[in-house]
Structure 1
Amino acid sequence: MKTSLRLILLFFCFSFGFSKVSAQEFDANNRLNTDEIAAGWQLLFDGKTTSGWHLYNEGKINSAWNVKNGELVCDPNIEKVERGDLVSDNQYKNFDFSFEWKISEAGNSGVFINVQEAQEFPTAWTTGPEYQLLDNANMPNDYLVDGKHSAGCVYSLSPLLNEVQPKPSGQWNHSRILQQNGVITFWLNGIETGHEDMKTERWKQLIAGSKLGNFPSFGKAIQGKIAFQDWSKGVALRNIKIREIQ
Structure 2
Amino acid sequence: MKALPAFALSMIFMGTAINTHASDNQLSEQEQQQGWQLLFDGKSLSHWRNYQQQDISPKWQIQDNAITLTEGGAGDIVTRQQYNNFELKLDWKISEAGNSGIFFLADETGKYVFSHAPEIQIIDNEKHADSKLDTHRSGSLYDMVAAPETAYKPAGEWNTVTISLNNDVLQVWQNGVMTVHIVMHSSTWDKLVAASKFANWQGFAEQPQGHIGLQDHGDKVWFKNIKIRELH
Question: Which residue of structure 1 aligns with residue 220 of structure 2?
Answer: 234
CA distance in 2, matches of 1:111, 1:61: 17
Q: What displacement does 1:202 show?
A: 2.0
Question: Which residue of structure 1 aligns with residue 191 of structure 2?
Answer: 205
How does 1:5-154 map onto structure 2 within 5 Å?
A: 28-76=23-71, 83-118=74-109, 121-140=110-129, 143-154=130-141
Could you say if the C-alpha distance between residues 139 and 89 of structure 1 is closer, same or farther in structure 2, counting changes exceeding 3 Å? same
Instruction: Report the RMSD for the aligned CA atoms in angstroms.
Output: 1.8
User: What code does the residue aligned with 1:89 have?
Assistant: R
Runs (5+) with no aligned partner, structure 2: 1-15, 17-21
Q: Tell me, what secondary structure is at the counterpart of 1:196?
A: strand
CA displacement, residues 19-71 of structure 1 (integer Å, 9 cap, x when unaligned): xx9xxxxx921000111111111100011111011000122143421111321
The structure 1 residue matched to 2:153, chosen from 149, 159, 167, is: 167
Q: What displacement does 1:146 show?
A: 4.6
Runs (5+) with no aligned partner, structure 1: 1-20, 22-26
User: What code does the residue aligned with 1:153 have?
Assistant: S
CA distance in 2, matches of 1:149, 1:203: 17
Question: Which residue of structure 1 aligns with residue 163 of structure 2?
Answer: 177
CA distance in 1, matches of 2:45, 2:180: 29
- Which of the pair has more CA radius of gyration? 1
Q: What displacement does 1:214 show?
A: 2.7
Q: Tell me whether 1:187 sits opposite 2:173 in the alignment.
A: yes
Percent identity at matched positions? 37
How does 1:214-225 map onto structure 2 within 5 Å?
A: 214-225=200-211
User: What code does the residue aligned with 1:172 have?
Assistant: W
CA distance in 1, matches of 2:190, 2:24: 39
Q: What displacement does 1:213 show?
A: 1.8
TM-score, normalization: structure 2?
0.86
TM-score, normalization: structure 1?
0.81
User: What code does the residue aligned with 2:157 have?
Assistant: Q
Q: Tell me, what secondary structure is at the counterpart of 1:243?
A: strand
CA displacement, residues 61-83 of structure 1 (integer Å, 9 cap, x when unaligned): 4342111132101112x8xxx62
Does the CA-based 8 Å contact 2:151-2:176 persist in structure 1?
A: no
Question: Which residue of structure 1 aligns with residue 6 of structure 2?
Answer: none
Q: Tell me whether 1:156 sits opposite 2:143 in the alignment.
A: yes
Number of residue pairs aligned between Structure 1 and Structure 2: 212
CA displacement, residues 162-213 of structure 1 (integer Å, 9 cap, x when unaligned): 4424222111110010000111111110000011211212212211221112
